[in-house]
Amino acid sequence: MSTSLFSPQSIPRLEIPTDALLVEGGAPISGTVRISGAKNAVLPMMAAAILAPGVSSIHNVPALRDVSTMALVLQALGIPSDRHDEILTIDTGNCRSLRAPYELVKTMRASIYVLGPLLALHGRAEVSLPGGCAWGPRPVDIHLKGMEALGARVELDGGYIVAEATRLRGAEIELPFPSVVAAGNHLMAAVLAEGTTALVNAAREPEIGALAEFLIAMGARISGAGSSRIEIEGVTSLAPTEFEVIPDRIEAGTYLIAGAMAGGAVRVVDCRPDHLEALLACLRAMEVPCGIGEDWIEVEGGERPAPLAVKTAPFPGLATDLQAQLMALAVRARGTSSLRETVYPDRFKHVSELVRLGARIQVENGTALIEGVEELSGAPVMASDLRASAALVLAGLVARGTTRVGRVYHIDRGYSGIEQKLAGLGARIRRVRE
Ligand code: EPU
């Protein structure tokens, strides 16, 4: 019997984990949720450990797929690491390869963080070009121009960035956009360069401040991190260190929005309220009651919020990484909200899935107009990236019936135990495997 080319037997199976989250909407949530360490602070610190051969420890490291992927990138360089009780130990004493392979970099763009440290300490780095991402192109030209400005020869060979320098030398570098990962790479390259480097228009995100603190603990001389001008005086060597990661402001923001949507009173603890001011301003504008302590924030939800008009922007502006979740809140506002995305104008993959749940959203020229509806109704939806998936879970909390969020492996990149944390607040949520 002949088989058609398009028969089910001949369709290749994709090796993608098929976990989904089932969310039963309508259960009010309340209580306390502890915030884990920041993914986007841990990843550059793991790369920075390369700069100081020996054993460094990073505390408060969450169990995340991106952390495991970065551990695999380090392993590909010959660097073992081990995570136990939220402490990650990295032994960079015997770095045997200078190549971050395509197979890993294509799954996590932040792998490019090894470029600066490998180049600075070992004089050479080969890092696969990351390629596009779920919401469009994400160039790395700023990273490459920066390495060149510090004296490296950079070329592309077979899909790899190949950068070389005997010793980098300090320079004044003005970044055309305050890219977070580019700032991290510049910092890690400049700490061992000869002379002084000034980064102008540098990212001010708290994760860059935390990376600078980590490097300072290793013996680097850095001033101005957290402002848009960072100065680095190169040193000849760095020593391994022990460091605690800052709390994840995006995870905290996600649970605050969950509370605003489905609370009850929800308190996020072990967070940094000063890292969340832009989100708090949005919640207040939406008339969500907020209380703030030294390391906690509490919101009171349940009512349909007032509509919001806001745009994302580099820190201290509203994080693009909270845009999708905030949209899930705006979907039930008492009027029409507008969310303008200025960091990634195409980061709206969640819109069509929110519409499947009954949202009314139109996107034009990087702005989403969200006409608030009274009710959402549960449906199967598909996660397309990390923050979009979180937004769909949040919408599921308030949708009538069951929402099934597929491709949960995206969420596992950046939310540690999201179903346990939400269930701890009383949400009806569980993971299913097909
Ligand atoms: N850009 C360039 N050229 C470059 C680099 C960036 O034009 O060489 C532009 C991008 O096109 C974009 C903007 O600069 O318009 C910022 O993008 P970039 O890709 O540099 O962001 P990133 O620094 O690589 C970090 C976070 C992202 C977060 C963005 C924006 C990490 C590991 N990643 O990425 O986090 O969205 O900053 O705040 O820190 C996430 O955690 O879900 C996530 C995507």
Pairing of strands 336-340, 309-311: parallel
Say whether pLDDT at 174 is over 70.
yes
Burial (CB < 10 A; 0-12, 13-18, 19+), residue 432, is exposed
231-247 pLDDT, tens digit each: 999 999 999 999 999 99
347-372 pLDDT, tens digit each: 999 999 999 999 999 999 999 999 99
This prediction's pTM? 0.95
Q: What is the pLDDT of residue 78?
A: 96
Q: Could you say which of 3.65.10.10, 3.40.50.1370, 3.40.50.720, 2.60.120.1440 is the CATH number of the domain covering 38-244?
A: 3.65.10.10
The order of strands in the sheet holding 55-59 is: 81-84, 87-91, 55-59, 242-244
Say whether pLDDT at 138 is over 90.
no
Percent of the chain's residues with pLDDT above 70? 95
Pocket test for ligand 1, best of 36, 173, 181 (most atoms within 8 A of CB): 181
Say whether pLDDT at 8 is over 80.
no
Distance CA(71)–CA(295), nearest Å, equals 30
Cβ–ligand 1 distance for 230 under 6 Å, the answer: no
Q: H or E segment at 267?
A: strand 263-269
Q: H or E segment at 73?
A: helix 65-76
Distance CA(264)–CA(28), nearest Å, equals 6
Say whether pLDDT at 129 is over 70.
yes
Q: Which residue has the tokens 């949005």?
A: 282
DSSP summary character for residue 296: E
Tokens of 224: 């101005």
Q: Whose CA is nearest to atom 6 of ligand 1?
A: 179
Q: What is the pLDDT of residue 434?
A: 66
Q: What is the pLDDT of residue 69?
A: 96
Mean pLDDT calculated for residue range 163-186? 98
Ligand 1: distance of its center to the CA of 380 in Å? 29
Mean pLDDT calculated for residue range 63-73? 96
Q: Do domains 22-28+303-433 and 38-244 have the same CATH topology?
A: yes
Q: What is the pLDDT of residue 13?
A: 40
Mean pLDDT calculated for residue range 264-287? 98
Ligand 1: distance of its center to the CA of 2 in Å? 50
Give the residue with greater pLDDT, 35 vs 1. 35
Pick the catalytic residue from 133, 271, 282, 290. 133
DSSP summary character for residue 110: G
Mean pLDDT calculated for residue range 278-300? 98
Q: Could you say which of 3.90.1150.10, 3.65.10.10, 3.40.50.1980, 3.30.70.260 is the CATH number of the domain covering 22-28+303-433?
A: 3.65.10.10
Cβ–ligand 1 distance for 58 under 6 Å, the answer: no
The answer to whether the beta carbons of residues 90 and 125 sit under 8 Å apart is no
Cβ–ligand 1 distance for 343 under 6 Å, the answer: yes
Q: What is the pLDDT of residue 17?
A: 65
Q: What is the pLDDT of residue 335?
A: 98
Say whether pLDDT at 7 is over 70.
no
Q: Where are the beta strands (DSSP E) in 35-145?
A: 55-59, 81-84, 87-91, 99-100, 124-128
Q: What is the pLDDT of residue 21?
A: 97
Triad 314, 316, 319: Cα angle to 5°: 55
Give the residue with greater pLDDT, 369 vs 4. 369
Which atom of ligand 1 is nearest the CA belonging to 145? 8
293-302 pLDDT, tens digit each: 999 999 999 8
97-115 pLDDT, tens digit each: 999 999 999 999 999 999 9
Q: Whose CA is nearest to atom 20 of ligand 1?
A: 179
Say whether pLDDT at 14 is over 60.
no
211-222 pLDDT, tens digit each: 999 999 999 999
Ligand 1: distance of its center to the CA of 321 in Å? 10
- Summary mean pLDDT of the chain: 94
Cβ–ligand 1 distance for 175 under 6 Å, the answer: no
Active-site residue flag, 95: no
Ligand 1: distance of its center to the CA of 391 in Å? 19
Say whether pLDDT at 2 is over 80.
no
Domain ranges of the chain: 22-28+303-433, 38-244
Q: What is the pLDDT of residue 384?
A: 87
